[in-house]
Amino acid sequence: MNAFSTTAAATIPYPSDERGLLPPAAKLRKARTRRRLALGRAIPFGALIGPALLLVIWSIGSVAGVIDPRTLPAPWSVVGTAVDLIADGKLQEHLMTSTWRAAQGLVFGILIGTILALISGLSRLGEAIIDGPVQIKRAIPTLALIPLLMLWFGIGEGMKVTAIALAVLIPIYIQTHSSLRGIDNRYVELAQALRMGYGEFIRQVILPGALPGFFLGLRFAVTYAWLSLVVVEQVNATSGIGYMIDLARNYGQTDVVIVGLAVYALLGLSSDGIVRFFQERSLSWRRTLAD
């Protein structure tokens, strides 16, 4: 072997591990580097650690007398109030009403937002017509539209469902539209090389590429649905969790207010968990930093 061959051999890096040619020591260093740069293993029930700490602090403050029970009742007092409301059947009745309102607004908002995003994201003409009005609505808080919605739809269920739907469609539209426009142009060129038809291109490239943004928007939409519900249920409502909270406020029943807020929190967390479950199943083909 001449000097050139020796020098070249010394400067050639290790081959990639795709063919299994890395020495054992190099493989070990590569595995350690990957573990060091990644987030590490998921913590079992990690999402419950933060709420549990808050509950512990709340309990300690109540026992020590730091927290005034008139301002914030002890956790066990709130649990006792919740048990009484369940025994009377009032909590279940208000919960069913609130869930039905939120579900209607969520479904209408998702359908309208997705359709608008597809039209605007796949057509320059559609974007010119749709994107401007949606951006205007985005700049106007939905709660600021409630007086106008009351003039248009009255103070019944139509106004409440419409307000929730308007709050929901914005994140669905924004995130889905952004994902559609963010699809790598190389996939378009590949589809052209494979002579895909437009329908097949939509099914095989566009829709899978837009799914991550759609699910992100859906998580925001679920949260906005419950946030809007809190407000609309305090406008001439005769049932619902928001009505129960507003009525308890009038009578100074802080424990009932806390129960209502806890129900809203549980509804928000559980619905977000459902969305994340379907997101993980639908996007199982992706490899991310969290994997």
| Tens-place pLDDT, residues 34-74 | 555 556 677 776 667 888 898 899 889 888 888 888 888 88
CA separation, residue 141 to residues 103, 114, 134, 138, 231 (Å): 21, 20, 12, 7, 12
HEC letters along the chain: CCHHHHHHHHHCCCCCHHHCCCCHHHHHHHHHHHHHHCCCCCCCCHHHHHHHHHHHHHHHHHHHCCCCCCCCCCHHHHHHHHHHHHHHCHHHHHHHHHHHHHHHHHHHHHHHHHHHHHHHHHCHHHHHHHHHHHHHHHHCCHHHHHHHHHHHHCCCHHHHHHHHHHHHHHHHHHHHHHHHHCCCHHHHHHHHHCCCCHHHHHHHHHHHHHHHHHHHHHHHHHHHHHHHHHHHCCCCCCCCHHHHHHHHHHCCCHHHHHHHHHHHHHHHHHHHHHHHHHHHHHCCCCCCCCC
Q: Is the pLDDT of residue 218 over 60?
A: yes
What pLDDT digit, counting tens, does each position of 88-107 carry? 888 999 999 999 999 999 99
Half-sphere exposure of 90 (CA within 13 A, CB side): 18
The pair of structure tokens assigned to 243 is: 């009505």
Give the C-alpha separation, 127 to 190, whole Å.
25
């029930």: which residue's tokens?
Answer: 45
% the chain with pLDDT above 70: 82
What pLDDT digit, counting tens, does each position of 152-187 carry? 988 888 889 999 999 999 999 999 998 888 877 777
Banded model confidence at residue 114, pLDDT cuts 50, 70, 90 = very high
pTM, 2 dp: 0.74
Give the C-alpha separation, 6 to 284, whole Å.
47
Give the C-alpha separation, 238 to 32, whole Å.
61
Banded model confidence at residue 15, pLDDT cuts 50, 70, 90 = very low
